[in-house]
Amino acid sequence: MSKEAVLQAMKKAGKALKAGEIAELSGLDKKVVEKAMDELKKEGLIVSPKRCFWEPK
């Protein structure tokens, strides 16, 4: 559930975001966002164009 919310927030923003910005956009707690992002990274669904910023692949 939280992984989908994180991906949707990233897609809606249309730019690379930090975890804190994703938390604000999705309404989720930052720790929940970070955990979801770890899973998304392992699955190869998000990439980092620059340090600390993430976007959908």
pLDDT per residue of the chain (57 residues) written in tens, 0 to 9? 799 999 999 999 999 999 999 999 999 999 999 999 999 999 999 999 999 999 999
How is domain 2-56 classified at the CATH fold level?
A: Arc Repressor Mutant, subunit A (1.10.10)
pLDDT of residue 1: 76
How many alpha carbons fall within 13 Å on the CB side of residue 4? 1
pLDDT for position 48: 95
Cβ atoms of 44 and 3 within 8 Å: the answer is no
What is the pTM assigned to this prediction?
0.87
Structure tokens at 39: 């899973």
Distance CA 9, CA 14 (A): 9
Going by the DSSP 8-state scheme, the letter that residue 42 receives in this structure is: H
